[in-house]
A and B are shown apart, each in its own frame.
Chain A
Amino acid sequence: MTNDDSTFGDRSERPGTRSSRRGFLATSGVAAAGALAGCTGLFGGDSGDYGAPDYDAADAAMEAMALSEFQGSGAILEGRPAPGGRSMEDLPNLSGELSIYLGGGEGGLYLQLFDVLEEVYPDFAYTSQSKPSSELALQIADEAQAGQLQADLFISIGAGSLGTVLEDGATRPLTEETVDPVPDAFVQPDRNWVGIAGRARAVPYNTEQLDEGDLPDSVMDFPDADPLQSATGWAPTYGAFQDFITAMRLQEGEDATRQWLEDMQAAGIQSYDNEFLISDAISTGELAAGFANHYYALRVLNGSPDRPLDLYFTRGDAGSLVNVSGAALLDRDENAGLADVFVRHLLSAEAQEFFATRTYAYPMLPGVQPVGDLPTIDELETPDIDLTELANTGPTTDLLTEAGVL
């Protein structure tokens, strides 16, 4: 999917100077946005990596994005502080033709951001191709082997696929400067990939039925928590839930995980089709708590701000796992510098504000607030897990099947 024809227009005039960019950015929606069009985005490769698309009946229309706005809108966003971190204004210009492999799922939203960048930099143009992340990862590995890499940059919807291309030696390191503002947990040790937006496992709970104190610190203690008996929900077919179980397997071992799955069922947990439905059921009091990606509760609240719904994070275990969409530079001779600076733009305050307010993703910059009063990325106590190991899903589905969950 290439860009609009207009971007291939007359390149003879070069208004891409600092001053005009500043003018553009000044009008961008880094100030608080007001309207209440329920702007929601689907985060993550829900449909890309995991097969079944996530259909949310409550997904409201997303307004066509005005090019001068990075920020989304809606009740949930009122009074947002300005994002902190590196502004695009202070980054080097983008110039040249960049080709991007984009992991499927929410290609449309990412492309909107890329289109803004094209708009800001008249000398910059991109071409992209979208396929499911896992499929792209294997394709990239093949292409690297044949010496036929077709793109400069790989943006994956989950860290597992980034691990695949890394193993096959198809990547090259990002510069120190680019990954510098991102917490270490979301940067590959040799800088071969970096997270650009996160989604956190969380425990949405009904604030009228539960206090934060009722919820255990560790996800492993959930089966024994009295207030949670027959009042929790999960969506075992959903890829992000399976990532959560994979993380538990890596941290606690097979046996403890199987036991936990059995105990949760004994405690009367109910299965749902997807995690939006779980979050919605909690907000109406049908359930007291559940397991879901953090942004589903935010979507519920953006539609119905008065519902008694909040998010709880467990401490340092699979229950607060943060998986990321990430970017890796592909090992080609051309465009290495451009791709690196492009990723730096994705990690700018403005782009992170875009991810945070349009997809409710977890921003990778401590200076950018996640939507909805959540702890910032550096305050979350995430489990100590190499995210690329989440690619190992086979044993997880076996385990879920054995335990009678799937």
Chain B
Amino acid sequence: MSVSDPVSRRIKRRSRGDVQTLVLALLAGSVAVAVLTPLLWVLNSARSVPLDRFFDILFRRTTLDIFLNTVVLVVAVTALSVLIGVPLAVLTAQTDLPFRRLFTVLAALPLVVPSYIGAFAFVSAFGPRGELADALAPLGVEQIPSIYGLVGSVIVLTLFTYPYVFLTTRASLLSIDGRTVEAARTLNHTRLGAFRRVTLPQLKPGIAAGALLVALYTLSDFGTPAIMQFDVFTRIIYVRTTARQVDFASIFSILLVVLTVVILLAESRIERGGETSAYVNRGTDRPGVVRLGRWRWVATLFPLAVASLALALPPAILFTWLGRSTPELAGAAVDFRWEFTWNSVTASALAAGASVLAALPLAYLSARGDGRLSSLPERASYVGYAVPGVVVGFGLLSVALNATPFLYGSLAVLVFAYVVRFLPQAVGTTRSSILQVDPQLLEAARTLGKPPLVAFRKVVLPLVMPGIVAGAALVFLTSMKELAATLLLRPFGFETLVTYIWQVQEAAAYGQAAVPALVLIGISALSMLVILGRERYDVKE
């Protein structure tokens, strides 16, 4: 390129930039379309249901029951999570509770137990033929209250999701302006009054953000209600899918997605409202520590009770199974093999790699593009948040059977499901790290005569790498845990940790679930480390 003519040079650069933008846009657009495929297919399946049949399904008594079950479960779990999470946050952040740091960690830790493993452990402990029933049987106790249904689902989901509320509330508490509390105290408010009038309003956005995360999780969770035999949308969609009742499955899927979108909208509102006050520590004085006095030690009973139910019980159950050399039901399930772990790792690693590649153009366009259109593909990728795994599984199964039979039963379909589900995580981390790169750095590298790709590789890539790695790690770890989509889409002869656990659970051969369940908990713990590492939750207080 001749350096003598600045005008032509500028034109060339402009056109090359346009081509780049176009290629990026095309890439991003196709990723967005691909991600939307399962949902569009579900919509299409529902559209092809004859109208009278459609309304017949929609207005059935059972549909109403499932809807109510789902809503009641979400509301109950969310309310209970607030009732557990907020007091724990207050205790660990604002009082002189002994061992505060330990209790802070303990209160956050239940997030590392996949809820269906918790459900599995609880059923085996408190189920009709569980450990408790066996222990009470010689005492003449014929029957214990059933854990199945709403009660068990609420208990388990609450125990393993309340940390969302705990963490967001805690973050708000740590950023409260202590002087407002002091001011209230000087105005003759009691401590409690000051808390109610001053602290609580400042906490609300944080509490709400956590509560909505809990609601979202509860709504999309398939494993726990399925194990607890509680008929909510996820469980019924799965049952209808395996029974090949496409009309039911598609209509219920849409209802579930609509519910999810409602919650997501509420969340985005609160997030936006909360950004200004709740999460920003304005560096002011922290409110004074509340002295519990005589109650100091009594107060530890609360976090202890929660921790023993959520953290001590499941592993204890798992280890008792581990100690059992004999399966409960001879021959009901196959022995565990490490190959299942390898399969899980393979599928999840492929999903992580594919997600990162797909996320790059979306994130780059959104972070660097101009105008609203350029962030459209990125926004489209967030559909994964709104589509629970069971819906993705059902949608892709239908696509594979009807549109792309040559892909049916291949690993590609399963990996793609993970990408659809978890791409938003990769997009989010990648985008935020791209935003942190000063565009002038790239210009500087270019002025030093580096071609654009080289400049990108040498300057930008090292800076965005942490975000990409974190995104890949999140996709990998969440894919490892995904249950419903894996069950529906696993290729022939391809068993993973979760499908194995599922089969063992169905056969009630608890003894064989211990190793894979413990492996999964370990994997989840890793994912929490990544998330906490990025969020920098302050646990030192």
Contacts and interface: CB of A to CB of B under 8 A. Distances in A.
Q: Which of A53, A54, A60, A138 has most B Cβ within 10 Å? A: A53
A56 B244 contact: no
Interface residues of A, number: 49
Nearest to B330: A62
A130 B492 contact: no
Interface in B428-481: none
B21 interface: no
Contacts of B134: 57
Interface in A26-56: 39-42, 47-48, 53-56
A130 B503 contact: yes
Contact of B402 (A47, A60, A131, A146): A146
B495 A1 contact: yes
* Interface secondary structure of B, over-half rule: loop
A47 B331 contact: no
A146 B401 CA distance: 6
Interface stretch (B247-255, B321-329, B416-424): B321-329
Nearest to B335: A108
A53 B506 contact: yes
Interface in A317-353: none
Contacts of B401: 142-143, 145-146, 148
Interface string A1-16: 1100100000000000
B492 A150 contact: yes
A130 B402 contact: no
Given A129-B492, A129-B493, A146-B402, A42 B329 contact: yes
Interface string A133-146: 01100110111011
B332 A99 contact: no
Contacts of B129: 55, 57
A254 B185 CA distance: 77
Contacts of A138: 242-244
Interface in B485-511: 491-493, 495, 503, 506-508
Contacts of B332: 42, 47, 53, 105-108
A55 B492 CA distance: 29
Nearest to B493: A127
A251 interface: no
B492 A109 contact: no
Nearest to B408: A148
Interface in A198-234: none
Contact of A2 (B327, B328, B493, B507): B493
Nearest to A1: B334
Q: Which of B243, B332, B506 has most A Cβ within 10 Å? A: B332
Contact of B409 (A47, A128, A148): A148
A141 B334 CA distance: 26
B142 to A, nearest CB: 11
A118 interface: no
Contact of A99 (B327, B492, B508): B492
Given A111-B334, A135-B242, A47 B339 contact: no
A305 interface: no
B352 interface: no
A1 B493 contact: yes
A47 B408 contact: no
B405 interface: yes
A53 B493 CA distance: 23
Contact of B508 (A47, A112, A273): A47
Nearest to B491: A150
A55 B508 contact: yes
A262 interface: no
A53 B127 CA distance: 12
Nearest to A111: B334
B127 to A, nearest CB: 9
B426 interface: no
Interface string B42-69: 0000000000000000000000000000
A104 B328 CA distance: 16
B328 A55 contact: yes
A314 interface: no
A108 B493 CA distance: 15
Contacts of B503: 104, 107, 130
Contact of B493 (A56, A99, A132): A99
5 contacts: A53-B508, A59-B330, A108-B330, A139-B244, A148-B408
Interface of B: 128-129, 134, 242-244, 325-335, 337, 339, 401-402, 405, 408-409, 491-493, 495, 503, 506-508
Closest 4 CB pairs of A and B: A62-B330, A109-B331, A61-B326, A150-B492
Given A42-B331, A55-B328, 5 more contacts: A47-B506, A62-B330, A108-B327, A108-B335, A130-B334
